[in-house]
Amino acid sequence: MKNFYFLFLLFFISTAIFSQEKKETNGIDINYFRGNILPHTDDLNHLITGHPDGVMVSFSKQTHGDQEWQKVYNYPDYGGYFMYQDFKNDILGKTYAVGAFYNFYFWKRRLQFKIAQGIALATNPQDRVNNSKNSAFGSEILANTDFVLSYKKENIIDRVGIQAGIIFTHFSNGRIEAPNSGINTYSINLGLNYNLNENKPRTVDTIPVDLKFKEPIRYNFVLRSGINESSIIDSGQHPFFHLSFYADKRLNRKGAIQLGTEVFFSNFYKDFIKYQSVAYPQQNLDPNTDYRRIGIFTGYELFINRISLEFQIGYYVYQPYKFDIPVYDRLGMKYYITKNIYTGLSIKTHIFLAEAMEFVMGIRI
């Protein structure tokens, strides 16, 4: 099952990168970063023993306005990355990550914002015998999300430039296996960039971004699925099925707002409820309590060519077993196979605590 997760993620990332048009130039940048672990739960305090550092290498396709979406987003870069991070703690070990990213530019292209999503390999995950104190990583395979904000200056010496800024990294297995507190770090980064091709002139966009985009309300039917485990280590992995229905309305060429509902069939809760009723009789928990949940949510989808980024925040209107807080959120990336059919990956969390890494199949009509 771990290999299935890895291959699916790798296929999604490679499809997202190489499905684009091949009219762009190329670049590479290398960043060194060093910072701190963000202690979002108390059980991470014993893992903070140093200042994590690492290296991020990005291979970019630089757009020049050959397609409308490139002009709309101020000629972003996209491509693949490799990241190495050392957490300066023998219990946590190190991680190696690969994935896809977009670079967006502001302030006359001096300010660069990178959004990256990928998969990672942890060198020292939790093991009940050899590494029982690792409460962050319950499996070797992790999801990796990164946000980088940098000041960038290109072609200072010939094609070589520099960049510096801040980077936020997140590693979590989406509760595929317990434990799964995950690790978040914030760091200062400093690096070099190099353009592999001569500069190509960019086409000036004469159409305003806020031009009205006429499209009727669209309706989405979505299945999100995968496997996860309760917070009890070695309690067993179970499949889950999250069924969603929502309407979306395009606001402009860039984005759409969403409003919908969904039902959660999280099968690990069945055994977890029975376990809690026996282990903690003082709670007076009925072992037959309904494990299903129903939520309502609102969201925003940012459309970028065939790829879109999605953020949703929801509230459980039906939650008989109140183990998690009633508010949940989701961050995901979607790829439109056709105009109406899409696939993707998303992480469903309760603030910083991940519940599920979701594989997505949806229809938009």
* Structural domain count of the chain: 2
Beta strands at 307-318 and 293-304: parallel, antiparallel or unpaired: antiparallel
Tell me, yes or no, whether 169 and 231 share the same domain.
no
Beta bridge partners of 32: 55, 190
| Amino acid 236: pLDDT | 85
- At residue 15, the pLDDT reads 56
Q: For residue 201, tell me if it sits in a domain.
A: no
Domain that residue 142 falls in: 2-10+20-195
Residue with tokens 């494990």: 291
- 169 is a domain residue: yes
pLDDT of residue 13: 57
CB 247 within 8 A of CB 258: yes
Of 134, 163, 195, which residue sits at a domain end? Answer: 195
Chunked into runs of 10 residues, the chain (365 residues) has average pLDDT values of 52 55 80 92 82 96 83 89 95 94 92 93 90 88 93 92 96 85 93 85 56 84 93 86 97 92 94 89 89 97 91 96 92 92 92 86 96
> Do 189 and 265 sit in the same domain of this protein?
no
Query: In Å, what is the CA distance from 289 to each residue of 238, 272, 278?
Result: 18, 11, 13
| CA–CA gap between residue 83 and residue 1 (Å, rounded) | 24
> Does 212 map to a domain?
no
52 lies in the same domain as 157:
yes
Nearest partner of 85 among 127, 136, 126, 33, judged by Cα: 33
Name which of 192, 148, 140 is nearest 170 in CA terms: 148
What are the respective helix, strand and coil percentages of the chain, to the nearest 5?
Answer: 10, 55, 35
CATH number assigned to the domain comprising residue 273:
2.40.160.20
Cα(337)–Cα(341) distance, rounded to whole angstroms? 6
> 209 in a domain, yes or no?
no
Q: In this structure, are 34 and 182 located in the same domain?
A: yes
Identify the H or E element spanning 273: helix 268-279
Residues 118 and 260 in one domain: no
Out of 141, 163, 195, a domain closes at: 195
Residue 211 lies in a domain: no
Co-location of 247 and 312 in the same domain: yes
Q: Three-class SS string for 182-216?
A: CEEEEEEEEEEEEECCCCCCCCCCCCCCCCCCCCC
Whether residue 147 sits in one domain with residue 40: yes
Rounded to whole angstroms, how far apart are CA atoms 166 and 31? 11
Q: Cβ distance 235 to 260 under 8 Å?
A: no
Same domain (yes/no): 140, 32:
yes
Query: Which of 359, 224, 212 minimizes the C-alpha distance to 295?
Result: 224
In a domain, 304, yes or no: yes
| Farthest CA pair distance, the chain | 72
Instruction: Indicate the helix (H) or strand (E) that contains 13.
Output: helix 2-18
Distance from C-alpha of 278 to C-alpha of 283, rounded to nearest angstrom: 9
Verify that 284 and 179 share a domain, yes or no. Answer: no
User: In terms of domains, do 87 and 137 share one?
Assistant: yes
**137 within domain boundaries:** yes
Residue 350 domain flag: yes
Q: Are residues 184 and 226 in the same domain?
A: no
Asked if residue 44 and residue 82 are part of one domain, the reply reads yes
Per DSSP, the residues of 299-359 read: EEEEEETTEEEEEEEEEEEE-SS--S-SEEEEEEEEEESSSSEEEEEEEEEETTEEEEEEE
Rounded distance between C-alpha atoms, residue 207 and residue 68, angstroms? 9
